[in-house]
Amino acid sequence: MNGFARPLKIALGLIVVAGLIIVPMNFNRYGLFILSQWAVMTIAAMGLNLTLGYAGQVSLAQGAFVGIGAYAGAIMTTHGWPLPVAVLVAIVLSFGVGWVLGYPALRVQHHYLAFVTLAFSTLAFLVFRNESWLTGGIYGISNIPRPHIFGIATNKPLPFYYVCLGSLAIVSLAVWWLIRSPWGRAFVALRENPLRAQSLGIDTRRYTLMAFAIGSALGGVAGALYAPLTQYIDPVPFNLSLSLDLLMMVIVGGAGFYFGPFLGAMIAVLLPEWLRFTEGYYLMLYAIAVMGLLIWSPTGILGILDRHMAARRTKAASALRAVAKSRLETAQ
Amino acid sequence: MSNLFDLLVAGLATGAIYALVAVGFTLLWQTSQTINFAQGEFVMLPAFLMLAAMHVGAPFWLAIILGILLSMILLGLAFKLLLVDPMMRHGVLPLAIATMALAIGIKEAVKQFFSAEASPFPSIVPTGDVSVLGHAVSLQSIGVLVVAILAVFGLTTLLNRTSLGHQMQAAAQNPTVARIIGVPVERMILLTFLINAFLVALASLLITPIYLAKFSSGEVLGQAAFIAAIVGGFNQVRGAIAGGLLIGVLDNLAAAYVSTQYRAAVPMIFLIVVILFRPQGLLGRAEERTV
């Protein structure tokens, strides 16, 4: 883009980050909880955005990976392990399961793949609910401790919000790096034209599995943070509707756009809260808003912005062309 | 042995309802590439429309007619014109997501305007048992089976034996050629949406007396119909029927012989196996891959 746009963008980014750090300082307990939830859900949605938006593999199982991460986090931290170790275990576990779940993706595509992952999601829920020796069954796991980070206790909502925000920052940087690396480009190639990607020597098998595994691992990270955030988990939040919600976040924000999940999670987590004043109607209005948005722009919010910028760029380019043409004519 | 017979009958009865819902589901997919995630809510809503009609004093038979008509207007006509038409050309996924939002909207609307509690719903067949081959079978199961079989029979006759049905199939299989030979494709697509609305209203009428009318009852049902459609064959009406019956029976047998805790897992595992080894479904044709 234009020369001045880059510093402008960096300035805007810094303002947003500073805002996220400073503004919540005088938020109440509930406001901080919602904002932390936004950070956690953004991480999960970023993972799904990698799988779906970049690599083009439809997954209806991201909620199950959040669940796997949450149970790994809850079980380990209640047994005295520190949270960072639990997060690592959650990553490894979700990565492994995600890798295995990726195998059907090698055989079937599109909606069939969505159905396989949907079935997996339900199976995971049943395991969370029924294997009470491990997960506490329907009674769940309570008294999940919040961590000490660098010796600072994060029991209060504000410090823990910073834990979530910091994790979001780390994940964002990692994903930023990933999609600019050759891997990210390979993912996009996989989405756009798998056959051509293969003919160019990209091992589509490995990258498909990778897309699933990495996306799922981020779901695991989100889960491992979700457990200490709510300090109590039971199977209900990790049923199929969480997977559907996360998918909705990615599409509404704009699949395949880096900032899509941030916006999508904002809409899914914050919009219902802002609509609370309408009492019983808030989820209805939320549903109508999502449908309206998708009718207006099926590529999500960032799709609108993208089209707008593309239109402006074409306009600018044709203006430049007109100027150049008139110069040529006057020169003749 | 008698236990097995009872399970089979009960399974077939639920399966027949799943089949109705699954058939509508595949019809929408075939004609407009709509994966309707709100299909379960579509089954839940008509029962409430009928209850509402009875609240304002309509007798049961009139409430049924009003409910079916209203469903066809709301879930057929309005659904197609307001949501599917503007989104159809943008591909499968955004529309699928929009129907998820619609599912939330319908659920919340019912919760808000009717009740969050389960309400009883009158049955169109009298309760009681009859003796079949020495087994006591509930009239309700028989009634459900008969109505569902009649509906499916009527639909397949319409699709395979009438000119209208042939036009609908043509519109589904190849819209461009259908248009060239003079089939009013748009009207045919609308017709499938109306048929789907009719089928879900019928399913609502059959299943709600058994499971009560509740805003959240669509979730399980929608998923079952969804699985039935895929297992049977996403692009075949008879596949959806077979899938529905199969899932109904499987679900009931699993509850009895596997474990009540994991009964829901059996259809899921079955689904995964079918997709992995026969992705076009048990009775389906292979879809050509676009790659």
Closest CA of chain B from A284, distance in Å: 5
- The percent of residues in chain B predicted with pLDDT above 90, rounded, is 34
Residue numbers in chain A where pLDDT is lower than 50: 1-3
CB atoms B87 and A130 under 8 Å: no
| Mean pLDDT within B43-54 | 93
pLDDT, residue A332, reads 66
Residue, of B276 and B62, whose pLDDT is higher = B62
Closest CA of chain B from A296, distance in Å: 9
CB atoms A104 and B276 under 8 Å: yes
**Confidence label for B71 from pLDDT (cuts 50, 70 and 90):** very high
Q: How far is CA A261 from CA A253, A270, B41, B209, in A?
A: 6, 13, 27, 42
Indicate the SS3 state at residue B212. Answer: coil
pLDDT, residue B290, reads 37
pLDDT, residue B285, reads 65
DSSP-assigned letters across all residues of A263-313: HHHIIIIIHHHHGGGGGGGHHHHHHHHHHHHHHH-TT-HHHHHHHHHHHHH
CB B53 within 8 A of CB B67: yes
Q: Out of A119, A244, A294, whose CB is closest to B272?
A: A119
Query: Smallest Cα–Cα separation from A285: which of B75, B36, B101, B73?
Result: B101
Task: Tell me how far apart the alpha carbons of residues B159 and B166 are, in angstroms, rounded to a whole number.
Answer: 6
| CATH number of the domain to which B233 belongs | 1.10.3470
Residue A149 φ/ψ, nearest 5 degrees: -110, 120
| Mean pLDDT within B9-21 | 90
Q: Would B287 be classed as within a structural domain? A: no
Overall number of domains in chain B: 1
CB A265 within 8 A of CB A38: yes
| Mean pLDDT within B21-48 | 91
**Confidence label for B267 from pLDDT (cuts 50, 70 and 90):** confident
Q: Would B285 be classed as within a structural domain? A: no
| Residue partners of A224: CB distance under 8 A and separation at least 6 | A69, A70, A72, A73, A83, A86, A87, A90, A91
pLDDT, residue B291, reads 33
Q: Would A230 be classed as within a structural domain? A: yes
Q: Out of A126, A240, A251, whose CB is closest to B97?
A: A251
Note the pLDDT tens digit of each residue in A306-319: 888 888 888 888 88
What is the enclosing helix (H) or strand (E) of A174? helix A157-180
**Nearest-5° angle of CA B230, CA B171, CA B103?**
45
B33 and chain A: CB distance < 8 Å anywhere?
Answer: no
Note the pLDDT tens digit of each residue in B95-144: 988 998 999 999 999 988 888 888 888 888 777 777 777 777 788 888 88
Task: Return mean pLDDT, chain B.
Answer: 86
Q: Work out how many CB contacts closer than 8 A connect A with B.
A: 112
Closest CA of chain A from B216, distance in Å: 12
pLDDT, residue A225, reads 94
| Mean pLDDT within B29-53 | 91
What is the 8-class DSSP label of residue B119?
B
pLDDT, residue A168, reads 95
B251 has a pLDDT exceeding 50: yes
CB atoms B291 and A194 under 8 Å: yes
B102 and chain A: CB distance < 8 Å anywhere?
Answer: yes
B41-74 per-residue burial string, b: 16 or more CB within 10 A, e: under 16: bbbbbbbbbbbbbbeeebeeeebbebbbebbbeb
pLDDT, residue A36, reads 94
ipTM of the complex: 0.83
Residue A194: list chain B partners with CB under 8 A: 291
| CATH number of the domain to which A238 belongs | 1.10.3470
Residue in A with minimal Cα distance to B267: A119
B287 has a pLDDT exceeding 60: no
Q: Would A213 be classed as within a structural domain? A: yes
Closest CA of chain A from B154, distance in Å: 29
Residue A204: list chain B partners with CB under 8 A: none
Full residue range of the structural domain in which residue B116 is found:
2-277
pLDDT, residue A131, reads 87
pLDDT, residue B289, reads 42
Q: Would A306 be classed as within a structural domain? A: no
Full residue range of the structural domain in which residue A180 is found:
27-299
Overall number of domains in chain A: 1
Interface of A with B (CB under 8 A): 58, 104, 107-112, 115-116, 118-120, 122-123, 126, 129-130, 193-195, 240, 244, 247-248, 251-252, 255, 280-281, 283-284, 286-288, 290-291, 294-295, 298-299
